[in-house]
Amino acid sequence: MDPLGARSQFVEVQNLSTWDQPQGVQDEVDGENHLMEEDDQLTSQLISLESPFPFRQDINSKIVLFNGDVALLNCTAIVNTSNETLTDKNPVSESIHRYAGPELRDELLKLKGCRTGEAKMTEGFNLAARFIIHTVGPKFKAKYRTAAESSLYSCYRNVMQLAKEHAMASVGFCVVSTVKRAYPLEDATHIALRTVRRFLENHGENIETVVFTVSDVEEPVYRKLMPLYYPRSKKEERIGLPLLPADIGNAEGEPVVPERQIRIAEKPGNLEDDSGDDSLESDLGLVGSHAFARMEGDVDKQRKLILQGQMSEAAQQKQHQRK
pLDDT given for residue 50 in this prediction:
87
Provide the percentage of residues in the chain whose pLDDT is more than 70.
Answer: 69
Question: pLDDT tens across 222-239, in order?
Answer: 999 999 999 999 999 999
Query: Is residue 26 located within the same domain as residue 56?
Result: yes
Work out the average pLDDT over 64-70: 97
Confidence grade of residue 177 (pLDDT, cut at 50, 70, 90): confident
Burial of 82 (0-12, 13-18, 19+ CB in 10 A): buried
Distance CA 244, CA 225 (A): 9
pTM: 0.74
Is pLDDT of 53 > 60? yes
Confidence grade of residue 286 (pLDDT, cut at 50, 70, 90): very low
Relative to beta strand 119-123, strand 131-136 is antiparallel
In a domain, 267, yes or no: no
The domain of 108 spans 3-259
Among residues 227, 259, 291, the one where a domain terminates is 259
Contact between residue 117 and residue 136 where contact means Cβ atoms under 8 Å apart: yes
The CATH number of whichever domain residue 127 belongs to comes to 3.40.220.10
Contact between residue 210 and residue 167 where contact means Cβ atoms under 8 Å apart: no
Query: Is residue 130 located within the same domain as residue 239?
Result: yes
In a domain, 16, yes or no: yes
Is pLDDT of 76 > 90? yes
Question: pLDDT tens across 99-139, in order?
Answer: 999 999 999 999 999 999 999 999 999 999 999 999 999 99
Rounded to the nearest integer, the mean pLDDT of the chain is: 81
Is pLDDT of 84 > 90? yes
Is pLDDT of 43 > 90? no
What is the DSSP code string of 269-309? T-TT--TTHHHHHHHHT-TT-SHHHHHH--HHHHHHHHHHT
pLDDT given for residue 49 in this prediction:
77
Is pLDDT of 143 > 70? yes
What is the DSSP code string of 207-275? --EEEEEE-TTTHHHHHHHHHHHS-SSHHHHHHHGGGS-S---STTSPPP-GGGPPP--SSTT-TT--T
Contact between residue 212 and residue 267 where contact means Cβ atoms under 8 Å apart: no
Query: Is residue 11 located within the same domain as residue 133?
Result: yes
Provide the percentage of residues in the chain whose pLDDT is more than 90.
Answer: 65
In a domain, 110, yes or no: yes
